[in-house]
Amino acid sequence: MTGNKKFFLSAVSSEFASYRSLLAGDLRRPNLDVAVQEDFAVLGRVRKKGGGKRG
């Protein structure tokens, strides 16, 4: 495990994916690990109150 600082960059809407990618590229440094929401696998959906699905 590295001693790097960790930074998670998120913007909920998929329409901001290109901005997340550009910003993450600008933020990456040898001592800073930048992760964006696309780096994580979607394993399922979360149920909202009332039985509907969100996701």
The answer to whether residue 46 is domain-embedded is no
Which residues, in sequence order, are bridge partners of residue 8? 35
The answer to whether residue 36 is domain-embedded is yes
Write the DSSP string, the chain. ----EEEEE--SSGGGHHHHHHHHHHH-BTTEEEEEGGGS-----EEPTTS-EE-
pLDDT digits (tens, 9 = 90+) for 1-55: 468 999 998 877 788 888 888 999 999 999 999 998 888 777 776 666 665 555 5
Q: What is the pLDDT of residue 25?
A: 93
pTM for the model stands at: 0.59
The answer to whether residue 19 is domain-embedded is yes
The answer to whether residue 2 is domain-embedded is yes
The range of the structural domain enclosing residue 3 comes to 1-41
Number of domains into which the chain is organized: 1
The answer to whether residue 24 is domain-embedded is yes
The answer to whether residue 6 is domain-embedded is yes
Q: What is the pLDDT of residue 15?
A: 86
The answer to whether residue 4 is domain-embedded is yes
